[in-house]
Amino acid sequence: MSAARPDRRAGSLRKRSFAIAGHRTSVALEPEFWTVLEKEARRLGRTLSAFVAQIDATRETRPLASALRVAALVAAMSAAKG
């Protein structure tokens, strides 16, 4: 692939659906964020759905996708500290 036509898969979003507080919702994030969120959920002994629901319950006015990205960032930073 030439430099003029970057790989469209790089930075692509992966959509996941969840039932949160009795409602179905879908969230699209980059695969790297989903990987960090899955690892953090496992570390906490929760399912990804339960972890997403916890984040949703505490996100206040921030969009869910943004809250999930911030949670992934916090988890990655904590893991890097050891």
Asked whether residue 1 is assigned to any structural domain, the reply reads: no
Number of compact structural domains in the chain: 1
Contacts of residue 75, Cβ cutoff 8 Å, sequence gap at least 6: 36, 37, 39, 40, 43
Query: Does the pTM of the predicted model rise above 0.85?
Result: no
Q: Identify the pLDDT of residue 82.
A: 78
Residue ranges for the chain with pLDDT beneath 50: 1-7
Q: Tokens 């759905």 label which residue?
A: 49
Encoded tokens for 10: 């790089």
Q: Which domain holds residue 34?
A: 14-81
Look at residue 9 in the predicted model and tell me its pLDDT. 59
What is the model's pLDDT at position 5? Answer: 42
